[in-house]
Amino acid sequence: MTAESAPILSVIIPAFNEEAGIASTLHRLLGVLDGLGIIYEVVVVDDGSRDRTWEKLVEARGGRAEVRLVRLTRNFGQQAALSAGMDQARGEAVAIIDADLQDPPELLAEFIAKWREGYAVVFGIRANRKEGLLRRAGYKLFYRLLGRISNVEIPRDAGDFSLMDRKVVDILRRMPERNRFLRGMRSWTGFRHAGVPYDRPERAAGKPSYSWWKLIRLALDGITSFSYVPLRLSIVLGGLVALFGVGMAVFATIWRVMQGGSVIAVGWASTVVLICVIGGTQLVVLGIIGEYLARTYDEVKQRPTYIVGELIGPEKKQ
């Protein structure tokens, strides 16, 4: 493919500290793409890696014009790296794939076939995962919870591994939010979509870049971006605590009438319990409000989602 050719397919790979396996990932992906018989490009986004990921990428690229490398100035997060990749992608269809080979590149042929059938979004559904029991349980719980409380239909067990039509990508690029949850955003667009089940293997090399804390943050971004249920639950929780307080007042009054003594004589334990229940509930409600408020604050600041520090390969004409 020449620099001037318009690619049919762009493949985005976000990478963070993937020096152990990024070269083999790129080699395997290019082998698959070469066999598809279409004009393509690969956009690899180094999300501020602290190891030799960038050096490995430059070496593995080998001067191939269809491979474009984007280096961010620091670690902005996977969702920001994907946004950077979409801003650089030029293809009629844009695919997203992980750098650790847990998303098999061979599945892209089936994605393209579904796209040519008329589906604007094709995503992989993780039928089986070769991961720890706790992680598998956490993912399963999150997707089912999100599916119940979300105001849009987000497919279960579908990650970022997907292929999207150019019109979907252009809409996602115009969405201004900073705390991005792309798998929910692509569902929000409402275009015709299809899922392709696959078995998700273990990482080919290296360690997972998503810590538990990062997974929790991503889950919070997904919930707060596509559901108001937590805010409404805080109202219900406040109402229940108020009813509990009224019930305690009625109980204390009846106890005083029946016993003929002071309510305080019952003991201080009930007072401490009541204070802890009310205080804890207030903190929970404030925490829920704080999560939404913090994200509103991020949007108001209008800072860029990412900053590109270096780019190798033909630049996209804006």
pLDDT tens, residue order, the chain (318 aa) = 444 568 999 999 999 999 988 999 999 999 999 999 999 999 999 999 999 999 999 999 988 989 999 999 999 989 999 999 999 999 999 999 999 888 999 999 999 999 999 999 999 988 876 666 777 677 777 777 777 777 788 888 788 899 999 999 999 999 988 888 888 899 899 999 999 998 887 766 656 666 667 677 777 777 877 777 888 887 787 777 777 777 777 777 777 677 665 555 455 566 766 777 778 778 888 888 888 888 888 888 888 999 999 999 877 765
d(CA 77, CA 73): 12
* pLDDT (0 to 100) of residue 203: 67
Count of alpha carbons within 13 angstroms of residue 93, beta-carbon side: 23
pLDDT at 236: 81
Place of tokens 């538990």: 212
Q: What's the full length of the chain, in residues? A: 318
* Contact indicator for 25, 100 with CB cutoff of 8 Å: yes
At position 42, the amino acid (one-letter code) is: V
Give the CATH fold of the 9-209+304-312 domain. Answer: Spore Coat Polysaccharide Biosynthesis Protein SpsA; Chain A (3.90.550)
The whole-model pTM stands at 0.79
Between CA 12 and CA 172 the distance in angstroms is 15
Contact 259, 179 (CB under 8 A): no
End-to-end CA distance of the chain: 20
- Using CA atoms, how far apart are residues 41 and 63, in angstroms rounded to an integer? 13
93/165 Cα distance (integer angstroms): 4
Predicted pLDDT at 1: 46
The domain limits of the chain are: 9-209+304-312, 229-301
According to the model, what pLDDT value does residue 289 have? 85
SS (H, E, C) 56-108: HHHHHHCCCCCEEEEEECCCCCHHHHHHHHHHHCCCCEEEECCCCCCCCHHHH
Predicted pLDDT of residue 2: 44
Continuous H helices in the chain: 22-34, 53-61, 78-88, 108-116, 133-149, 166-174, 182-188, 212-226, 229-259, 269-301
